[in-house]
Amino acid sequence: MPRADPRGALLLGVLSAGCYSGLSGRADGAGSDDASATEPGGSGSGETAEVPEPAEVEAPTVRRLTQAEFTHSVRDLLGPVDLSAIEADSNQEGFFAVGAARVALSPAGVAAYELALDAATAQAFADPANAAGLVACVPATVADVACIRDAIAAFGRRAWRRPLNATELDRYAGIATDVGVETGDALVALRHALWGVLQSPHFLYRVELGTPSEDDGGRVKFSSYEMASRLAFTMWNTLPDDALLDAAQADELATSTGIAAQAQRMLADPRARQGVANFVAEHYRLWQLEEKAKDTTQFPEWTPTLKAAMRQEMLARIEEVVFTTPADFLSLYDDDKVFVNNELAALYGLPAVEPDAFHPATLPAGDARRGLIGSAMILALNSLPARTSATERGQFIAETLLCKTVPPPPPDVDTNLDDDDGSGGPVVHRTLREKLEPHRENPACAGCHNVTDPLGLALEHFDTMGRYRETDLGLTIDASGELDGVPFVDAAELAVALREHPDALSCLVRKLYTYTAGRLPFDAEDDFLAAIGVEFEVNDNRFDRLLLAIVTHDDFRFAHPADSVLGTDQGEGP
């Protein structure tokens, strides 16, 4: 069972090479051009030009539904039921979507599914009238076998994102028969069959593995049903609807044209907002806000309602720029538009709103607060409980917005930034910039801190909750710095520099694709990602167009890029 993970050696290699500031996040971990070079095939002595060996890439893996996907899917099937806790998602490479493709469920996690789905199906079937709205056919008696089978088949097609085969249908109809014999209650019998359908790995995992396509030179291609699943989870964060499954049944999702028709329809559906919100929640780690602790002795304003307001504001900003008034997504990076209720307005230093509900507002001209990095949510999330963290805030900007790699600190580093040195002498306050100065001067630390700290220090006018402060304990704050050669005097200018950064667009493309694919992009997908980036740009950087560009691209229908082959792992093993 225990196996060495080659990523270990890789990680150490990256660390020993110091802080890498190029684009991060490749499936093979390469960060430089030479690492992506393919060894030429053959001896090279022939007269014909050498033909490069096709790159070998990882085969697709099944992905456990994330908590969000599971919740949305169950409620699509059963209505607004309560769901008890299931095993937590694992965040890898910044996304639950990636953890879902790598991490195994524990045995206790299997039990948690059984329990949650028992209660959910029981709740949905407690009222026969409600149950009747959930199934294709309501059996009058346990003898109504045809109706029970129809109900299981229709429910199963939706839940599993494909029709059940005859064996599978018999298997779950058999449960209904047995329970029917025991209880004499057809609805109870059907409820148990559907409880089983939902515990099946075909529901709990996204089984999108593809099969070799002769028409495409043997390239592994996703079936129309698999494409329906990919489209729905990518765009809606939930199951396909019947229209999408009908399109799959007609094999209309085998071509980009067919996919484009469905994708356009899906973007106009309210569930698209749920899909984009989930990407943002993962990308900006909105989920972490709930568990973010602050020192409430110093910051009594840090309440559950304030955290909820911060989260809601971020989603409102996204909704505005993606759906309400579709615009350049990167305008989020330096916009002066915010959304506030009274709790958040107070934190932003804006007038109270009436009534106390979310309203759009505009930050004053000349305000240091601008864009995403000025949002309370980003500032508070990337801070420590009692103080700011230029390193964490800078790391967010560098890694999340610009795809730079920032490795963890070297061994045995003193991470204390306390004013009090414990000597018993007088405590001399210093600004965070002064405290961090040794890190930028020490060669072992400077490689990374020179990337993160100037960016994070630009946000020092905002305390650990994101509230503006003129000084830090009476000391003057110097928020100036430089981003890859572009100087800025404060956070507002940094926000503009971020929007205009040459990597901002390609990084967003890369992050969205990582989330979509459930893995880091392959080197062999560089051309694909570049093409998507161009498409994004010519469509005024509109996020909805970016989403469309990804799902309608030819490569989205295949498990690997053209001119590559899958690793030989597939289908092997005991």
Partner 1 sequence: MKMLPRRTVLRGLIGGTALALPLPRLVSMLNGNGTAYADGSPLRPRYLTWFFGNGADPAHWVPAAVGVGDAWAPSTALAPLAEFKPWLSVLSGYQVAVPAIYAHKSAPAAVLTGAQAMDGGDVQLPSIDQLLAPVINADTAFPSGLHVGISNVTGAGALDFNISFSGPNAPNPPNYDPVALFTNLLALSGTLEPDPALFRRKKILDAVAADASELRAKLGSQDKERLDRHLDGLDQLQAQIDAIANAADCGMPVDPNVAYPDRGADGAITRGRCQAFADLLTFAFSCELTRVATHVFSCAACHAGYPEAGLGEVTFHEDFGHRLSPMGVDFGTAGFHTGVEYTMSCLAELLQRFRDTPDGAGNLLDNVAIYATSCVGLPWDHRMDDFPMLVIGKAGGRLRGDIHHRSAGENTSMVPFTLLQTLGGAQPSFGAAEGLVSAGIPEILA
Binding to partner 1 (CB under 8 A) within 115-134 occurs at 115
CB 324 within 8 A of CB 339: no
Q: Alpha helix (H) ranges present in 332-421?
A: 342-348, 376-381, 390-395
CA pair distance 120, 114, nearest whole angstrom: 10
Does 192 contact partner 1 by CB under 8 A? yes
Q: CB of 358 within 8 A of CB of 348?
A: no
From the list 132-140, 304-312, 341-349, 409-417, the region that binds partner 1 by CB under 8 A is: 409-417
Nearer to partner 1, 148 or 263 (CB): 148
Binding partner 1 (rule: CB under 8 A), the pick from 129, 166, 293, 365 is 293
Residue span 324-343 as binding mask against partner 1, x where in contact by CB under 8 A, dash where not: --------------------
Minimum gap (Å) between residue 220 Cβ and partner 1: 12
Q: How far is the CB of 142 from partner 1 (least distance, A)?
A: 14
Query: By rule CB under 8 A, what string of x and - marks binding of each residue 136-175 to partner 1?
Result: --------------------------------x--xx-xx
How many CA atoms within 13 Å lie on the side-chain side of 237?
Answer: 23
Under DSSP, the state recorded for 396 is I
- Is residue 388 within 8 A of residue 510, CB to CB? The reply is no
202 is a site residue for partner 1 (CB under 8 A): yes
Which helix (DSSP H) or strand (DSSP E) does residue 536 occupy? helix 526-538
Q: What minimum distance in Å lies between the beta carbon of 239 and partner 1?
A: 18
Least distance in Å: CB of 54 to partner 1? 19
Q: Does 48 bind partner 1 (CB under 8 A)?
A: no
**Between residue 65 and residue 94, which ones bind partner 1 under the rule CB under 8 A?**
84-85, 87-88, 90-93
- Residues between 378 and 397 that touch partner 1 (CB under 8 A): 384-387
Shortest spacing between CB 229 and partner 1, in angstroms: 15
Binders of partner 1 in range 410-439 (CB under 8 A): 410-416, 418, 420-422, 427
Helix residue spans in 359-469 (DSSP H)? 376-381, 390-395, 432-441, 443-457
Q: Look at the alpha carbons of 89, 223, 276, 115 in this order and tell me if their dihedral is positive or negative.
A: negative
Please list every residue from 5 through 24 that binds partner 1, using CB under 8 A.
5, 7-8, 11-12, 15
8 Å CB contact between 30 and 38: no
Q: Which of 45, 48, 104, 217 binds partner 1 (CB under 8 A)?
A: 104
DSSP, collapsed to helix, strand or coil, labels residue 360 as strand
* Residues paired with residue 55 on neighbouring β-strands, in sequence order: 564
Query: Using an 8 Å Cβ cutoff, are 360 and 321 in contact?
Result: no
Binding mask 494-533 for partner 1 (x = CB under 8 A): ----------------------------------------
Asked whether 226 and 201 are in contact (CB, 8 A), the reply is: no
Q: Does 444 bind partner 1 (CB under 8 A)?
A: no
43 binds partner 1 (CB under 8 A): no
Q: Euclidean distance between the first and final Cα of the chain, in Å?
A: 12
Q: How far apart are CA 243 and CA 303, in angstroms?
A: 43
- One character per residue 340-379, x = contact with partner 1 (rule: CB under 8 A): ----------------------------------------
User: Does position 261 bind partner 1 by CB under 8 A?
Assistant: no
CB hemisphere CA count around 104 (13 angstroms) = 3
CA distance 329 to 401: 12
Least distance in Å: CB of 541 to partner 1? 30
